[in-house]
Chain A
Amino acid sequence: MLLDLEEELRSGLKLLYSKVLAVVLAVLFLLGSSMRCGSTADRKDRPLSARDVEQQCEDDREVLFTRYLFPFEIVSVLLVAAIVGAVGPEQEEKIRSGAMTLPGVPPVFYLILSAILFTIGVIGALTRRNAIIVFICIEMMLNAVNLTLITFSRFLQSIDGVIFAFFVMAVAAAEAAVGWPSS
């Protein structure tokens, strides 16, 4: 965010420049304000009446929109940035407290990978003429289905998929034991 200190801390060089700049600006501000106070101190000896305050407010208003229009706009932008920066970390904190840890690999990725493997197996089984390659591709398809079963068994918190995958493996092994020597 705009006022995220950690982001600045990660790149220490920028923070150093910011510190130097802040010190220089603070010194300048102190000098300017002391000079201003020194120049106006002589007019502050008598108490202010309501008429004086009104007049001064009117002067300030007028001066803000005429002579000091540009600094006024800059200050407004800075204030908006400060507001955004103050609101932003709060929301970010909310997000962090909810999901500070990176979410694990979602099941859809496993399913997509399984679908890709199954499709490659189908393509190989349909296009290759060698019987051994066809058997290999069938094994790959069975394996892809196993991956789907295990994924659902994990993300649905059920043991059924594991048992089913175990049976599929037994059948695949039996099929390979019968099929490969005969091919």
Chain B
Amino acid sequence: MAETIGTVFEWLIFFGVAFVSILASLLVITRKNPIHSAVFLVLTFLCVAVLYLLLYSQFIAVIQVIVYAGAIVHADPLRDHAA
């Protein structure tokens, strides 16, 4: 029974995260402002990191968050544009 509940949560999390990631990636390529695109790119990457967690790949998920969502966007040249 506990396994069933866990599986139900797995389905719910998968579909929620998949929906959010598709929506965010669509927003990435449709926003005019590149800064908004970068923010939605971070959201997409975070959603994919959750999917990695669902696939029992914790290491890749952590690397995803650190490298992509952290380093790349932190080194974003767009911040100079925005300033």
Contacts and interface: CB of A to CB of B under 8 A. Distances in A.
Interface in B53-83: 54-57, 59-60, 63-64, 67-68, 71-72, 75-78
B72 A139 contact: yes
Q: Which 7 A-B pairs have the closest CB atoms?
A: A124-B29, A102-B7, A154-B55, A120-B25, A101-B3, A105-B14, A132-B34
Contact of A169 (B14, B37, B64, B78): B64
Interface of A: 100-105, 109-110, 113, 116-117, 120-121, 123-124, 127-128, 130, 132-133, 136-137, 139-140, 143, 146-147, 150-151, 153-154, 162, 165-166, 169, 172-173, 176-177, 180-181, 183
A150 B72 contact: no
A140 B45 CA distance: 8
Contact of B77 (A100, A123, A124, A180): A180
B78 to A, nearest CB: 6
Interface residues of B, number: 39
Nearest to A112: B18
Interface of B: 3-4, 7-8, 10-11, 14, 18, 21-22, 25-26, 28-29, 34, 37-38, 41, 44-45, 48, 51-52, 54-57, 59-60, 63-64, 67-68, 71-72, 75-78
22 contacts: A104-B7, A105-B11, A105-B54, A110-B51, A113-B21, A116-B22, A117-B25, A124-B29, A133-B37, A136-B34, A136-B37, A136-B38, A143-B45, A143-B48, A147-B51, A150-B52, A151-B55, A154-B56, A154-B57, A166-B60, A173-B71, A180-B76
